[in-house]
Amino acid sequence: MITKLIVGTYQHTRRHIRLIVKIKIALIIFLLLLLAGWKGYQKLDHDADRGAVALSNGAFGESYTTPKYLDQGWSKSDSLWFYNTTQGSDLIPYDFFLVLEQADSVELLRSDKNIDNYRYLPQKKTFFNPDALPVGFVKDEYQQKDYMGYTCAACHTSQVNYKGNAVRIDGGPAMADMVGFLTAMEKSLKAARDDAQKRERFIKNVLELNNNYTKADAVIKDLSKWTDTIELYNTINHSHVKYGYARLDAFGRIYNRVLEHVINKAQLRLALLQIVSAEKRHILTEKQVDAVLNGISETIIGDRQFDIILNRLKSSEGNFPSLGQQDMLRVRNAIFNEPSAPVSYPFLWDITHSDYVQWNSIAANAGVAPLGRNAGEVIGVFATLDWTAAKPGFSLSGMISGQSSNKPHIKFKSSIDLDNLSRIESHLQSLTSPRWEDAMQTLAVGDLGKIDPEKKNRGELVYNEYCQSCHQVINRADWDRLVTVNMSNVNVVGTDPAMAKHSVEYTGYSGNFQSVYQKTDVGSVVIQNRAPVAQILTAATMGAVATPDADRNALSRGVRWVYLLGKSFFDNEIKESVKSGNYLVDTTANPFQSLLSYKARSLNGIWATAPYLHNGSVPNLYSLLLPTKREGDPAEGQYRPDSFQVGCRELDLVNVGFQCTGDAGFKFQTLQVGDLNIGHDYGTGRDGKEPLTEQERWDLIEYIKTL
C-alpha cells in the first residue's frame, strides 16, 4: 500500500511538474509571439468585399456597384487590417460618434450618405469593424476610455468610378474634405448641446450603449468639453485658403497642435499682451490677460486648458474681453500659424522603399525615422497628448528630446500607439501601385482603356528626354526596390511655394524646448524662445517616440519599447544618404534651407492620383503638360485651366484625371498663393527645350499610364 502510495504520489508529482513546464513553455511562446508582433490575428477579417458597399444616388449623383479591388500585393485581410488598426487617434468619445446627429436633422453624422458627401468611403460591418465605420475611422482605447479616431487609411485610400463600376485603391490619395467634416461635427455637437430635443435624444442614445457612460451628468459634462475642443481645433486652424476636396495642410495643423502643447504660461501672457488691432491698439489689457490666464498651468497648457482660455477670451463676464471673430483670429496668429498651404494626400505605395518622404522631403526614411514621422502624423490627427511637467531629474524622453535634467522636463504621455505604427509601416512594404490595365479590365471599360503599343513606345522616348532625369522609373514588384527622390528648389521647379516656405519660415514659442541643443545636418542649433516650428516638432516627436505605451504595465512597457526601437531600426532597409537633385543646400546660417524644395517621385500608379502638382491645382495629366497662361500670352493658346471642379470620382479616360458633370463638386480656382497652378513647365517650351507637339503629349500620357 505504501509503495503504491509513493508511486502514485510520484506519478502525480511528475504530471504536475509536466503541467507546470507546459504552462511555462506556453507562456514563453506567447510572450515571444507577442514581442515578435504576432500577425496571425491580422488575417481574422477576410470579408469577400473587404467591407466595401454599393451606393445609390450619392454625392453629385454618383451611383456605383460594390467596389472591387486591384492586385496591389494585399489580400482581403491585409486591406481590412490596414483600415481598422488604430494608431492612437482620439477625435471624440466613441459613444458620441456612434449616435451624433447632423446639426439640421435627425440623420446620423456618420450615415453612409453623409460620409460620402465628405468623400470618405462607407463600409459595412466586418469582424474588425462591428459598427460599420467608414474606411479609416476606428475605435481607439486609451486609459480605459473609448474614442473614435482616424487611421492612415482615412487619408490614403481612394476610389475610381466609371459608368457605375468602381475600384478601391489601397494607399491612394483620398478625395476627403476633412475640414468640411470637422466643421459639420462642430455644428452637430453644438446642436446636441444647445437644442433641448437633440440633447435629450443624444443623452438617451449614449446611455443606451451602456459603454463608457452610465449617468446623464457625465454625458452633459463631456458633451460641453468635446464641443469646446473641436471648436478650438477649428478656430486655431481657420484658413483663408479653402481646401475643398482631396487636400489638407496636414503639416500646418501638426505644427499648431505641437505649439498648443509646448507653449508655457509666461510666453502666452506676453503673446496676448502684444496683439494689436488694425488701428494699432492693444486688444487686451493686462487686467484682462491676467483674468484669462488665472489658474492656468505655469509650464504646459495643452488643448484642455486652451478650451478654457478660448471661452474666456470670448466671454463678456467679469474682466473677460468678449473678443469677436477678427480679434480671435489675431489671437490665433500671435500664437499659431495659419495652415494655408494645402497639399494633395500623397500615395503610400513605395513609401517604405523611399529615401525621403513628404512633399518637400522633410522626413528622412532611414533607421527609426519612420517611427518619428508617423508619431508626428498621429499628433496631427488627434492623439491625446497628456503632456505634463515632471519633477527635475533624469528622464529618457527628456534626454532624447534634448531637455536638460535641471528643469522640469515634459512627460510625453500620450495615446500614440507606437506598436501599431511600427506594424503599419511594415505592412506597407508589400503594397504596390495599381496598374492601369488591371483597372480598365475591372471597370469594364472595353477598348477605350486599352494601351496603344505604338503610342506607348514613342511616349517612352519622350519620357526619357523630358521626365526621367527627375522621375525615376522603377519595377513596382521588386521587393528590394529603392526609390530615390529628386529634389528641385522652388525657384527651379516654379510651383506654388507656400508649403515649402511654411516649413522653413513658420515659427512658434518653444516653451520647455528653449535653449535645447538639436542636431542638424550642418551642426547643432540651439532652440530659441521663438523658433522654427520644424525644430519644435522634431524635439516633440523625439520625446513621444522615447515614451513607452501608457496603457501597458511597467515591465511590459519597457520591454516592448526596447524591442520596438530595435525592430524599427533593423527592419528598415533604407540607409542614410544625402538628398539628390537641384536644391539649396543647408548652411550654418540657414540649416533648413534644403526644405525650400519639392520632390519628384516615381510615377508608377500616377494615373490614379489626380488632381496633380503637390497642391492639387491641375485636374489631369493632359493639362499638366500645358503652360499656365501669363499676362501677355495669346488668348488662343492652350493653357492649364484657371478653375475646375474637384470631388467627383468619375475617371476621365482621355485626359487621365477625374471629371465632374456641370457644377458638381468644389470649384477650385488657381488665383492665390496656396492654389497656384504655376511651374513644372517641362515640355511646354518654357524649360529651355522644344515644346511637345500635340502627338508627343498624347504619346507621353500613353506611356505614363503603363508605369
Residue with cell 495642410: 249
Residue 470 lies in a domain: no
Q: Does residue 68 sit in the same domain as residue 139?
A: yes
Q: Range with the lowest mean pLDDT among 11-25, 271-285, 674-688?
A: 11-25
Q: Over the range 223-248, which residues count as b (16 or more CB within 10 Å of their CB) and which as e?
A: beebbbbbbbbebbbbbebbbbbbbb
- When pLDDT is cut at 50, 70 and 90, the band that residue 2 belongs to is very low
Residues 250 and 230 in one domain: no
Total count of domains within the chain: 4
Query: Is residue 526, in this structure, part of any structural domain at all?
Result: yes
In this prediction, residues 172-182 reach a mean pLDDT of 98
In whole angstroms, what is the distance from residue 658 CA to residue 646 CA?
Answer: 8
203 within 8 A of 481, measured Cβ to Cβ = no
pLDDT tens digit sequence for 374-410: 999 999 999 999 988 777 777 778 788 877 666 678 8
Residue 587 shares a structural domain with residue 638: no
Q: What is the value of pTM for the model shown?
A: 0.92
Q: How far is CA 588 from the centre of its chain?
A: 31
Q: Say yes or no to pLDDT of 28 above 70.
A: no
Q: Which three cell numbers stand for residue 125?
A: 460591418
Lowest mean pLDDT among 126-130, 306-310, 469-473, 613-617: 306-310
Nearest to 437 by CA among 601, 657, 608, 602: 608
Residues 674 and 617 in one domain: yes
Q: Among residues 603, 622, 638, which one ends one of the domains? A: 603
Asked whether residue 107 falls in the same domain as residue 186, the answer is: yes
SS (H, E, C) 665-702: CEEEECCCCCCCCCCCCCCCCCCCCCCCCHHHHHHHHH
| Cα four-point dihedral sign 355, 361, 367, 370 | negative
User: Dihedral, CA atoms, 219, 224, 227, 232, nearest 10 degrees?
Assistant: -140
Domain assignment present for residue 429? The answer is no
Looking at the fold, whether 49 and 13 belong to one and the same domain comes out as: no
pLDDT in tens, 368-381: 889 999 999 999 99
Task: Give the domain extent around 21.
Answer: 2-35
Q: Residue 46, class by beta-carbon neighbours within 10 Å (0-12 exposed, 13-18 middle, 19+ buried)?
A: middle
| pLDDT of 305 higher than 90 | no
- Phi first, then psi: what are they for 50, rounded to 5°? 55, 30
**Going by C-beta distance under 8 Å and a sequence separation of 6 or more, which residues neighbour residue 633?**
627, 639
What does the alpha-carbon distance between residue 658 and residue 668 come to, in Å, rounded to a whole number? 13
From the number of C-beta atoms within 10 Å of its C-beta (0-12, 13-18, 19+), residue 632 rates as exposed
In tens, the pLDDT along 574-624 reads 899 999 999 999 999 999 999 999 999 999 999 999 999 999 999 999 999
pLDDT tens for each residue of 517-526: 999 989 999 9
The answer to whether position 641 is within a domain reads yes
pLDDT interval class at 555 (50, 70, 90): confident
Query: For the chain, what is the radius of gyration of the CA atoms?
Result: 27
CA 401, 406, 410, 413: dihedral to nearest 10 degrees? Answer: 90
388 vs 509 pLDDT, higher one: 509
- The pLDDT score that the predictor gives to residue 29 is 55
Q: Which three cell numbers stand for residue 63?
A: 451611383
Query: Last residue of some domain: 236, 251, 268?
Result: 236
Pick from 543, 570, 603: which residue ends a domain? 603
Q: How far apart are CA 15 and CA 21, in angstroms?
A: 10
Q: How confident is the model at residue 7 (pLDDT cuts 50, 70, 90)?
A: very low
Query: Would you say residue 424 lies in a domain?
Result: no
